[in-house]
Amino acid sequence: MVPSKSTVTVPVLTMEHVAKSFGGVTALVDASLSLYAGEIHALLGENGAGKSTLLKTLAGVHKADSGEISLEGKPFIQGGTRESIEQGVAVIYQEPSLFPDLTLAENVFIGRHLLKAGLVDWSEMEERSVALFERLGVTLDPQSKARGISIADQQIVEIAKALSTDARVIVMDEPTAALSSKEVERLFTVVRNLREQGSAVVFVSHRLDEVFVLCDRMTVMRDGSTVGVSMISETSEPEVVKMMVGREVSELFPKLEPHIGDVVLQVESLSLAGQFADISFDVRAGEIFALAGLVGSGRSEIIRALFGIDLYDSGTVTLAGKLLPAGKPAVSMERGIALVPEDRRQQGLFMATSIARNVAVTMLKKLTSGFRVKRLDEESTARTWAETLQLKFASLSDPVERLSGGNQQKVVLGKWLATEPTVLIVDEPTRGIDVGTKAEVHRLLSQKAQQGMAVIMVSSELPEVLGMADRVFVMREGRHQGTLERVDATPERIITLATGGTVSV
């Protein structure tokens, strides 16, 4: 736990009344944060609340327009990322940035190679890397290449790198977003070890259950300002949600009464060696059909195959009574299937391209005259969906990379909904976005289903599955374990099926 004020009176880090603007867009208005040695501190807020800008200011990526920052009682020098590292601040981002063809030891000491007689001291770097890994309670081979190691192990290497610089403040931005439950537990053990060793850890997460299990204290941000600071033990999830969104979120899963119609999609005996086998299901107009299961159960692989991204070995996919050819996503799109992928940054968006182009990219045939895109029509289409989805942006000409994660997800949804699909497939539709935006996405999916669209949803979040699905198709290790109607779906039954048990309905 965070040391009591009787033993520690001075924070390791203080950020007071920090403000930052980018052109005409105000990102931070009045943001404050204090950290003590030996605590795990949660930084919470909706996408767009200012968390990332505040942390990038601390990391040296941005320079504050106003406000005061001090580290260990001294003014914090805002000059750049190297200056931040040299002062004892390390930021570990959601997606680690290791050099894949270098060894783990080289990655730990990248840019700071240890020398002996003017030559790189490889053995010393490897020995120190092992010591750092052991300090974190993890066994890794310092001589192995970074290429191919898991995201969880990449994060461990990033943490070891931070410790090798004698970082006093370690910031972890959405570190569990891509981890399995076992990997999350191991990471939590590592973070607790850091706390015991006196580090001040900032933990950014949209998963409140993790925050309440791991963290000691929290700071909540909204609209660029700090709106609350509290001990975790003295608050509750509903109170945190209210602080984050500025209102009561009484219904995170606004499920509308479905009007379920005829079968529009049939999957029969679909198989792909090493991924899934003998998968059969049908999806009806107006229903939300959820694929549930543990990480690695084959859910995403199935939807990639039926959409046409991956070529399956056997089986058939039928849409509106007509067979879909395997391995042809363009045909799937033409026939009325849309896929919102799990990884919006790598697979769903052109990050450096404008918001307008990203929204309209699926409509280029309709928006093109000869070889030229009709810009006014493109902007009109984008603006319509931006308003429908309540997108927060400065200009439609801005690159989509400037948007918060939640608003980026809205752009992906908008570009596919613009095609007016018969079947909408959404893979982890609310991963990495805040509770307020989650409710908006859930409401949109429910509205589209009520209007007759068939929705296939892949989700690792059990509350989301239970709150939104009309039927739940449960998988384990690439095979179907059972299908539950909404009235029969309970956490116990879904988990039992996902782990290989049987249930009676």
Q: Quick one: CA dihedral 303, 307, 313, 318, positive or negative? A: positive
**What pLDDT, on a 0 to 100 scale, did the predictor assign at position 68?**
94
| Cβ pair 96, 156 in contact under 8 A | no
Instruction: Look at residue 444 and tell me whether its pLDDT is greater than 70.
Output: yes
Confidence grade of residue 411 (pLDDT, cut at 50, 70, 90)? confident
Q: What is the pLDDT of residues 303-327, one digit of tens each?
A: 999 999 999 999 999 999 999 999 9
Average pLDDT score over residue span 106-132: 87
Average pLDDT score over residue span 245-250: 59
> Smallest Cα–Cα separation from 357: which of 399, 402, 404?
399
DSSP per-residue codes, 331-380: HHHHHTEEEE-S-IIIII--TTSBHHHHHHGGGTTTTEETTEE-HHHHHH
13-245 with 254-336+423-428+453-505: one CATH topology? yes
Q: Which of 157-166, 249-258, 492-501 is predicted with the least confidence, judged by mean pLDDT?
A: 249-258
Q: Is 298 or 49 the better-scoring residue by pLDDT?
A: 298
Place of tokens 């979040």: 461
Instruction: Look at residue 251 and tell me whether its pLDDT is greater than 70.
Output: no
Q: Exposed e or buried b for every residue in 146-170, given b needs 16+ CB within 10 A?
A: beebebbbbbbbbbbbbbbbebbbb
Share of the chain above pLDDT 90, in %: 38
Confidence grade of residue 137 (pLDDT, cut at 50, 70, 90)? confident
Q: Exposed e or buried b for every residue in 274-305, given b needs 16+ CB within 10 A?
A: ebbbebebebbbbbbbbbbbbeebbbbbbbbb
Q: CA torsion, points 389, 394, 395, 400, in degrees to nearest 10?
A: -70
CA angle (192, 194, 195) in 5-degree steps = 65
How many other C-beta atoms lie within 10 A of the C-beta of residue 237? 12
Pairing mode, strands 337-340 and 368-369: unpaired
Mean pLDDT of all residues belonging to the chain? 86
**What pLDDT, on a 0 to 100 scale, did the predictor assign at position 430?**
83
**What pLDDT, on a 0 to 100 scale, did the predictor assign at position 43?**
94
Instruction: Look at the pTM and tell me if it is higher than 0.85.
Output: no
**What pLDDT, on a 0 to 100 scale, did the predictor assign at position 255?**
86
Domain 254-336+423-428+453-505 falls under CATH 3.40.50.300 = yes
Fold classification of 13-245 (topology level)? Rossmann fold (3.40.50)
- Domain spans in the chain, listed from the N-terminal domain onward: 13-245, 254-336+423-428+453-505, 342-420
